[in-house]
Amino acid sequence: MEDVRDIRIWPDPESLAEAAAKIFTENAVDAIAARGFFSAALSGGSTPRLFFHLLSSVYRNTINWEQVHLFWSDERAVPPDHEQSNFRIAYEELILGVPIPPENVHRIKGELDPAEAAREYEEELHRYFGDNGIPAFDLILLGVGEDGHTASLFPDVAILKEDVRHAVPSYSETMGNWRVTLTLPVLNNAWNILFLVAGKSKAGIIDKILGKGRSHLYPAGLVKPTHGRSIWLLDREAASGLDR
């Protein structure tokens, strides 16, 4: 798999979020014009919050939200109104502010047992994408943890080698909690992967993945779309360890 990455550095988290919102919007408009729909998998965390807000305000009327289908790259094993829910962040900052039909919002049911939630989410993916082959999202939004994890794929876990299932339970040793995550084959089958990474605390891992050629050691570095592209949007602090 060819390791080609588009790395773009922005001054601060605000300009990073603006760039991400533009890319999301452009992809949505193009996909809807070409095929009549747009599918995106979202992520949680603090970095996407402003990105979501921009989509529901500045870009609200640019996208035909009735043709947008929202999924999630991963979710914690918590109810949808829990403060740690990835769904909750997107719901409050994005979904409440745009005219997207409720049936177009395909959340992971974190309130269920993780194994059951993964099975139900996989069935939801099959209903939308069909039963043949790997789901192909138009865009997947991802972040990177300080340990190099992305979605809920953590370093040195067996599910990194999963090549049959499309959604699986995942346990975080660091956080001590269960999650549900898309698997690497699904991530790598997306047409567009958009990494959003901000903050000085991410500089070390970004340098290891993008600067030191150690990407194969970290889950985020294993995300290399087979037929699409990956764009790494970094703020200046996250990119501070890279050789310009």
Q: Per the structure, how many domains does the chain have?
A: 1
Domain interval for residue 147: 6-235
pTM: 0.96
* The pLDDT of residue 244: 56
The verdict on residue 243 lying in a domain is: no
Chain centroid to Cα 150, Å, comes to 8
The verdict on residue 13 lying in a domain is: yes
The verdict on residue 169 lying in a domain is: yes
The verdict on residue 241 lying in a domain is: no
Please, what are the averages of pLDDT over each run of 10 residues along the chain (244 residues)?
Answer: 77 97 98 98 92 97 98 98 96 98 98 98 97 95 96 96 97 91 98 97 95 86 95 97 76
DSSP string, the chain: -----EEEEESSHHHHHHHHHHHHHHHHHHHHHHHS-EEEEE--SSTHHHHHHHHHTTTTTTS-GGGEEEEESEEESS-TTSTT-HHHHHHHHTGGGS---GGGB----TTS-HHHHHHHHHHHHHHHH-SSS----SEEEE---TTS-BTTB-TT-GGGG--S-SEEEEEETTTTEEEEEE-HHHHTT-SEEEEEE-SGGGHHHHIIIIISS-GGGSGGGG---SSSEEEEEEETTTTTTS--
* The pLDDT of residue 212: 77
* The pLDDT of residue 4: 66
The verdict on residue 81 lying in a domain is: yes
CATH code, domain with 139: 3.40.50.1360
Q: State how far the Cα of 53 lies from the Cα of 174, in Å rounded to an integer.
A: 29
The verdict on residue 244 lying in a domain is: no
* The pLDDT of residue 5: 81
